[in-house]
């Protein structure tokens, strides 16, 4: 019964979408304002119906209704309660329902927080959001129905939620990521509405910018959390694998980052309007591409659940319609928005355009690396995979270039400023940053027996100090010239926090890859080994029982000299349902260094293969990512003069 209510709600939501979609047309037809006013209650109705459906599915999980196929496949009576709730979005159908719920939320947000835009413009935006919603609801109902029953005989017991996903990370990673992915639908709808109206008011882009910031901040948080989850849950100590699914989230993030910067130029200077519109379209298109890659089954990973050609074709057609349709509209209407002003001289505008070029280049590199294997397979040119060295080769220099220009932009002005003035301002930070970086890298080599000289560490220090010092120089100059107002501005504060976050992220990535030590070896209980100044003693091996698994647990003591610094207990878990095996790493951490141990497999009666890691600064990666997200949120609370 509950499943049927959920099903009917979805169908009603679909009907609401159709109404929301045609309100602007009805308004144009009858010139009656009632049609425009109708879009708000429709948006709320849409949200409530999807929410009802979502709650119904959650209840089905909570009461173990195994007659619902999706519940039977992804839950069982032994599953802890919290994972029964998170299992709702643990597989394909339910995660799409979450996608829809988030879209419903953003749509309702646009409907009610749109006081600065005209009712007509808003109804156009809602209409675009309704088309997106319509497409995904059709997809959900016809190819991925979460409420499908197993009739006539329901199984007594369900399958299991993939053990990798039985974790705190999974509870919040998809909702955060979807808030970002789907949130990019708002600037997309905005861009389409602008293209339809043919003009871009300054207040409109000012209205749109917080939406971009918030969606971007969620996307940042979602990706950061995913990386952290991969690090501790996949069990092998990596935090980014250049896996196509990760790339699928990185591409919209890079473009959304470019969009944040270009929209600030568009608001401040009224220029690069067409470019900003194009980026808005591109960001959501890449979001859809990501959904296609992850959900169609063309890729196999933790995120793809089953291969079903019907789903792939449906998503591909939808992707083509949205991207093709919006680019078609852009080709016909985009030129009307072009501004005649050209950027002159060494202004912040120019630097932000360079930032955009770099970010777009990075996106193209990821796009090619991600799609090339698919294209090659389709054209029968061979089955290939593109390894991390390809991505690293391009990302290291582009990131360094981004850092350099980021520092330059701190010392530039919106109004025309000349190059030599900017150069004068950066000489001091440059000199300090070069000297202290070289000093620090050699000091690390001289005073620590475990770390030798590393070029990547030197470059990392230079890039990071450069970002920090130019920021400090800028704040110092603003204080001296009594521009305190600017510093108190949320937009400036948000930018500073996010840029510091990026610097910390780069520090974490650079130093952890330069100074990490990894060793795979055989160990038996009682044996010891020395790595990077630590002695690891494999004290004992225990057999333990969890709620829905049994595990072998190794206990390792970590010594420096004769002093015990702590113990970790990595596990190898065997889940009761199915034959899944999971590696639970044992991690001991402080801010500056992680010690990471995972159990491989039993080699013979008493020996195990063991992976030992000493990873300095790895925490900085996620701290940095988190700060970047916080910066985005702060900036979106900026009050603008009306």
Which residues here bind other proteins, judged by CB under 8 A? Answer: 162-164, 300-302, 307, 361, 365, 368-369, 372-373, 376, 382-387, 389-390, 393-394, 520-522, 572, 578-583, 600-601, 603-604, 609, 611
CB atoms within 10 A of CB 584: 21
Instruction: Report, in Å, the least distance between residue 390 CB and other proteins.
Output: 4
* Identity of the residue, 118 or 301, whose beta carbon is nearer to other proteins in the bound complex: 301
Shortest reach from residue 72's CB to other proteins, in Å: 14
Handedness of CA 261, 262, 266, 269 (dihedral sign): positive
CA distance 582 to 596: 16
C-beta of residue 323 within 8 angstroms of C-beta of residue 285: yes
| 305 Cβ contact partners less than 8 Å away, ≥ 6 residues apart | 91, 92, 297
Task: Report the residue number, 310 or 520, with the smaller CB distance to other proteins.
Answer: 520
Minimum Å gap between C-beta 529 and other proteins is: 13
Nearer to other proteins, 164 or 352 (CB): 164
- Minimum CB–partner distance for residue 372 and other proteins (Å): 6
Q: Between 235 and 631, whose beta carbon lies closer to other proteins?
A: 235
Question: Which pair of tokens denotes residue 359?
Answer: 């970010």
309: closest CA among 294, 293, 292, 297? 297
Q: Read off the tokens for 352.
A: 């932000």
Helices (H), 115-243: 119-143, 168-183, 185-197, 202-233
> Which CB atom, from 152 or from 382, has the smaller least distance to other proteins?
382
Measure CA 272 to chain center.
26
Tokens coding 47: 């949200």
Helix (H) or strand (E) segment spanning residue 545: strand 534-545
What's the rounded Cα separation, in Å, for the pair 134 and 359? 32
Give least dist CB 297 to other proteins, A.
Answer: 9
Shortest Å, Cβ 500 to other proteins: 31
Please identify, using beta-carbon distances, which residue of 22 and 386 lies nearer to other proteins.
386
Q: How far is the CB of 549 from other proteins (least distance, A)?
A: 13
Least distance in Å: CB of 361 to other proteins? 7
In whole angstroms, the minimum distance from the beta carbon of 494 to other proteins comes to: 32
Sign of the dihedral defined by the CA atoms of residues 515, 519, 525, 529, in that order: negative
Q: Show the tokens assigned to 260.
A: 């944040």
Q: How far is the CB of 368 from other proteins (least distance, A)?
A: 6
CA dist 21 → 33, 126, 141 (Å): 16, 7, 19
Residue 528 host element (H or E): strand 528-531
Say if residues 237 and 596 touch (Cβ distance below 8 Å). yes
For other proteins, the closer of residues 324 and 387 by Cβ is 387
Answer yes or no: are the C-beta atoms of 260 and 276 closer than 8 Å: no
Residues 293/299, Cβ–Cβ less than 8 Å:
yes
Report, in Å, the least distance between residue 286 CB and other proteins: 18
Alpha helices in 481-577 (DSSP H): 484-488, 490-515
Confirm if 106 and 130 have CB atoms less than 8 A apart. Answer: no
CB of 196 to other proteins, least distance (A): 30
> Which is nearer to other proteins, 190 or 538 (by Cβ)?
538
How far is residue 23's CA from residue 157's CA, in Å, rounded to a whole number?
47
By beta-carbon proximity to other proteins, the closer residue of 574 and 588 is 574
* Residue 594 and residue 613 in contact, taking contact as beta carbons nearer than 8 Å: yes
Rounded to a whole number of angstroms, the minimum distance from the CB of residue 144 to other proteins is 17
Q: Which is nearer to other proteins, 84 or 572 (CB)?
A: 572
What are the beta bridge partners of residue 594?
589, 615
User: Is the CB of residue 521 less than 8 Å from the CB of residue 538?
Assistant: no
| CB 163 to other proteins: min, Å | 8
Closest C-alpha among 358, 200, 207, 349 to residue 268: 349
DSSP-assigned states of every residue in 552-587: EEEEEEEEETTEEEEEE--EEEEESSTT-EEEE-EE
Residue closer to other proteins, measured from CB, 481 or 604? 604
Complex with other proteins: residue 14 or 523, whichever CB lies closer: 523
Closest CA to 366 of 288, 251, 453, 208: 251
- Between 383 and 480, whose beta carbon lies closer to other proteins? 383
Looking at the Cβ atoms of 413 and 574, the one nearer to other proteins is: 574
CB burial of 358-385 (b: ≥16 within 10 Å; e: otherwise) equals bbbebbebbeebbeebeeeeeeeeeeee
């Amino acid at each position: 019964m509950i499943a049927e209510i959920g099903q009917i709600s979805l169908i009603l939501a679909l009907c609401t979408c159709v109404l929301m979609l045609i309100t602007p047309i009805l308004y144009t037809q009858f010139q009656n304002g009632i049609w425009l006013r109708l879009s708000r209650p429709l948006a709320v109705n849409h949200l409530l119906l999807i929410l009802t459906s979502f709650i119904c599915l959650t209840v089905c999980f909570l009461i173990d209704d195994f007659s619902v196929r999706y519940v039977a496949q992804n839950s069982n009576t032994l599953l802890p309660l919290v994972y029964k709730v998170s299992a709702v979005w643990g597989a394909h159908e339910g995660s799409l329902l979450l996608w829809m719920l988030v879209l419903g939320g953003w749509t309702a947000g646009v409907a009610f927080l749109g006081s600065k835009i005209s009712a007509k413009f808003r109804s156009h935006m809602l209409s675009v959001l309704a088309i997106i919603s319509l497409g995904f609801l059709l997809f959900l109902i016809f190819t991925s129905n979460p409420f499908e029953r197993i009739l006539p005989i329901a199984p007594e017991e369900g399958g299991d939620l993939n053990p990798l996903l039985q974790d705190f990370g999974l509870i919040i990673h998809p909702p955060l990521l979807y808030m970002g992915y789907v949130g990019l639908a708002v600037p997309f709808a905005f861009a389409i509405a602008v293209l339809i109206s043919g003009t871009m008011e300054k207040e409109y882009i000012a209205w749109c910018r917080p939406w971009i910031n918030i969606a971007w901040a969620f996307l940042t948080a979602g990706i950061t959390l995913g990386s952290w989850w991969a690090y501790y849950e996949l069990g092998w100590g990596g935090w980014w694998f250049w896996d196509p699914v990760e790339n699928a989230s990185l591409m919209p993030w890079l473009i959304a980052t470019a969009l944040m910067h270009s929209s600030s130029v568009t608001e401040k200077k009224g220029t690069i309007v067409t470019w900003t519109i194009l980026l808005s379209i591109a960001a959501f298109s890449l979001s859809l591409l990501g959904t296609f890659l992850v959900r169609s089954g063309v890729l196999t990973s933790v995120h793809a659940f089953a291969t079903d050609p019907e789903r792939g074709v449906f998503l591909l057609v939808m992707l083509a319609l949205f991207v093709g349709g919006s680019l078609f509209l852009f080709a016909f209407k985009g030129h009307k928005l072009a501004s005649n002003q050209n950027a002159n001289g060494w202004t912040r505008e120019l630097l932000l355009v360079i930032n955009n070029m770099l970010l777009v280049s990075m996106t193209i590199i990821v796009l090619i690396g991600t799609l090339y294997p698919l294209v090659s397979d389709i054209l029968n040119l061979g089955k290939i995979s593109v390894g991390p060295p390809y991505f690293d080769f391009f990302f290291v220099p582009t990131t360094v270039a981004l850092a350099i220009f980021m520092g330059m932009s701190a010392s530039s002005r919106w109004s025309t400023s000349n190059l030599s003035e900017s150069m004068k301002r950066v000489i001091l930070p440059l000199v300090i940053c070069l000297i202290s970086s070289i000093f620090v890298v050699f000091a690390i080599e001289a005073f620590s027996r475990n770390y030798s000289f590393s070029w990547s560490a030197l470059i990392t220090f230079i890039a990071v100090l450069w970002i920090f010092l130019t920021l400090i120089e800028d704040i110092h100059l603003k204080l001296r010239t009594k521009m305190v107002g600017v510093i108190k501005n949320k937009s400036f504060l948000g930018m500073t926090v996010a840029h510091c976050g990026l610097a910390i992220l780069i520090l974490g990535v650079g130093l952890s890859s330069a100074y990490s030590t990894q060793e795979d070896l055989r160990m038996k209980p009682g044996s010891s080994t020395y790595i990077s100044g630590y002695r690891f003693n494999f004290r004992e091996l225990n057999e333990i029982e969890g709620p829905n698994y049994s595990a072998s647990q190794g206990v390792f003591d970590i010594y420096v000299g004769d002093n015990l610094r702590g113990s970790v207990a990595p596990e190898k878990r065997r889940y009761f349902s199915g034959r899944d095996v999971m590696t639970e790493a044992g991690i001991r951490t402080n801010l500056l260094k992680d010690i990471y141990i995972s159990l491989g497999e039993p080699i013979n009666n008493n020996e195990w293969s063991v992976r030992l890691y000493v990873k300095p600064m790895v925490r900085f990666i996620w701290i940095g990512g988190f700060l970047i997200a916080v910066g985005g949120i702060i900036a979106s609370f900026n009050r603008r003069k009306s």
